[in-house]
Structure 1
Amino acid sequence: MEPLLSAVIVLLLVSCFTSSEALTSNNGNITIKWDIMSWNHDGYFALVTAYNYQKHRSVPSPGWRMSWRWTKKEVIRSMVGAKTTERGVCSMFKRNIPRSCLRKPTVVDLLPGAPYTQQIANCCRGGVLKPGSESEFEISVGKAGNSVKTVRLPGNFMFTVPKQQYVCRPAKNVRPTVFMSPDTKRTASAFMTWKIVCVFDKAT
């Protein structure tokens, strides 16, 4: 029994070291920022940005996929700059049907040439994300509460790339992002900002 127990302990230590090493990589990471910009009657509008801080690794076509698990009973009412892959069951809504009612939605970037009304800055590259670049989309979330005291951070974030596996830390509440106007004369601050760091683990 002693050799077996020793082997189990070694495997656990190796597993812990590997996970720790992945989350403290010196080669950069994918950082996702979730900025709540305004409130609506039962939720909020947010700007979600994925930054590729990796030094030498691109996210190739067909691009990234992002998913998370809602903490309460949130729904995605609308999106600009990206889309969900599935709506789910929204039978409880008789009008203004949400874009997604899934507890764990999956979001993908729009393709180049998407309708102008569906575009925002830094979107619509088919999910391709070169080193030093970013990808953005806007999301309207309902059934979430409409104050800093009632909204909850999503959990179980996943950032998926073809032939690349990433490990994501839990979402963290950080100092709200301050945005500068194009003329650099005014600033505006997000009401809340959440940050998720995802680090490359291995090729698949």
Structure 2
Amino acid sequence: MESVFSSINKFSGFTLLFVFLLSCSSTFTSTEAYDAVDTGGNITIKWDVMSWTPDGYVGVVTIYNFQKHHQIKAPGWRLGWTWAKKEIIWSMVGSQTTEQGDCSRFKGNIPHSCNKDPTVVDLSPKTPFNQQISNCCRGGVLKPWDASSFQLSVGAAGTTNKTVRMPKHFTLNAPGNAYTCGPPQIVQPTKFITQHKKRVTRALMTWIVICKYS
């Protein structure tokens, strides 16, 4: 079976998402920072729910750099958020959290992270191939008009579109740069085109977070 993660048409996906983001620009308040260099640029975090599991879901998070003149350099981006309830991360591919947190209530299978406020970082390019997904593992470096992705399995979460809860209070930090992130917004589910362009699949649910350079 072809992997949906390796079959995304990056150029067309970037173009469609950028057009959508322009239409969303009015959702930002006047308190957000103004960047005289990248007046229309931002970093967008897209969170796709790909499948449901017995106690949650498998998601793919993609960070898009829609800035013409700002890149994130090594040691790379650090993405954080606050879970809406008592969600945990069972496992991750293409990234890791900086701390595991207190998982003492679990017996046997121990989660990757039990933190209420996890911080995620990218893996290095030397990461074994079987621990990677498409667009991951660049040491957190994110050039203009590029993307970085990782996969996570979320537990103690909702298992339908009506019961799943979006994380909140997103933060994005980078060496020498600070970003102010808006609230998550539910959007139309992402569509994926298979490698041979013979089939289109879609995420079960998608939300985005827009972060401005400050």
Q: TM-score, normalising length from structure 2?
A: 0.83
Which of 97, 106, 109 is equivalent to 1:96? 109
Closer, same or farther in 2 for the Cα pair 1:113/1:20, shift >3 Å?
closer
Which of 185, 188, 193 is equivalent to 2:198? 185
Shift of 1:56: 1.0
For 1:171 and 1:18, how far apart are their aligned partners in 2? 17
Post-superposition CA distance 1:42-95 (Å, at most 9, x none): 000001000000011100000000000000100000000000100000011001
Which of 152, 172, 185 is equivalent to 2:165? 152
CA contact (8 A) 2:99 2:113 kept: yes
Q: Percent identity?
A: 53
Which of 67, 70, 75 is equivalent to 2:88? 75
The AA in structure 2 aligned to 1:95 is: G
Return the index of the structure with the highest Cα Rg.
Answer: 1
Shift of 1:192: 0.4
CA contact (8 A) 2:33 2:180 kept: no
Secondary structure of the residue aligned to 2:32 is: helix
Shift of 1:18: 4.5
Which of 104, 109, 121 is equivalent to 2:122? 109
Secondary structure of the residue aligned to 2:116 is: coil
Cα root mean square deviation, aligned: 1.3
**Corresponding residue for residue 141 of structure 1:** 154
Alignment map for 1:58-73 (pairs within 5 Å): 58-73=71-86
CA contact (8 A) 2:180 2:212 kept: yes
For 1:158 and 1:68, how far apart are their aligned partners in 2? 6
For 1:110 and 1:21, how far apart are their aligned partners in 2? 31
For 1:92 and 1:107, how far apart are their aligned partners in 2? 22
**Corresponding residue for residue 6 of structure 1:** none
For 1:109 and 1:27, how far apart are their aligned partners in 2? 26
Over 3 Å off, 4+ runs:
none
Shift of 1:17: 4.0
Which of 65, 68, 73 is equivalent to 1:55? 68
The AA in structure 1 aligned to 2:52 is: W
Structure 1: which 5+ runs fail to align?
A: 1-15
